[in-house]
Amino acid sequence: MRCMVIVKATRDSETGVMPSQALLTAMGQYNEELVKAGIMQAGEGLHPTGKGVRVRFDGTAREVVPGPFTPTDQQIAGFWLFKVDSLEHAIEWVKRCPPPFESACEIEIRPVFEAEDFGEEFTPELREQEDRLRAQMADKNE
């Protein structure tokens, strides 16, 4: 199963406080362990929400809403994409993570939908399209 591992923002991350060299080193070592174990599929830190926007949808209307967004602790400061055997396996790995910030913080783990989760609505044609698109993305990322 795949899981999105979401690092929740803090006041410091939202005001642009950068991580220390010690934290960058610890995260680098943790990421190396994840990669060697075949767990980490992707991972990135994100700029504060003040540098981002949201696009709000209402029927055919689109509204661009500039950041920053609140509440701070409900925003995303970074993420990993894990490939694990189970949610419990993801939890074990997240517990090994160095604290992402000096202040109290939270990491959320959410399973990623897989093709079989969509049932019969995900027709063979849609599955074929999905497989083709994933192959194209992989080719472009090589």
Omega prior to 68 cis, within 30 of 0: yes
Tell me which of 2.60.40.60, 3.65.10.10, 3.30.70.1060, 3.50.50.60 is the CATH number of domain 2-111: 3.30.70.1060
Mean residue pLDDT of the chain comes to: 95
User: For 8-30, how does the pLDDT look when each residue is reduced to its tens digit (9 = 90+)?
Assistant: 999 999 999 999 999 999 999 99
Predicted confidence at residue 49, as pLDDT, reads 97
Omega prior to 71 cis, within 30 of 0: yes
Closest by alpha carbon to 71, among 49, 103, 44, 89? 49
| Alpha helices for 15-141 (secondary structure H) | 21-36, 87-95, 124-140
pLDDT at 142 over 80: no
pLDDT at 113 over 80: yes
- Average the pLDDT over 79-106 and give the result: 96
Predicted confidence at residue 38, as pLDDT, reads 97
User: For 40-88, how does the pLDDT look when each residue is reduced to its tens digit (9 = 90+)?
Assistant: 999 999 999 999 999 999 999 999 999 999 999 999 999 999 999 999 9
Closest by alpha carbon to 74, among 10, 139, 141, 5? 10
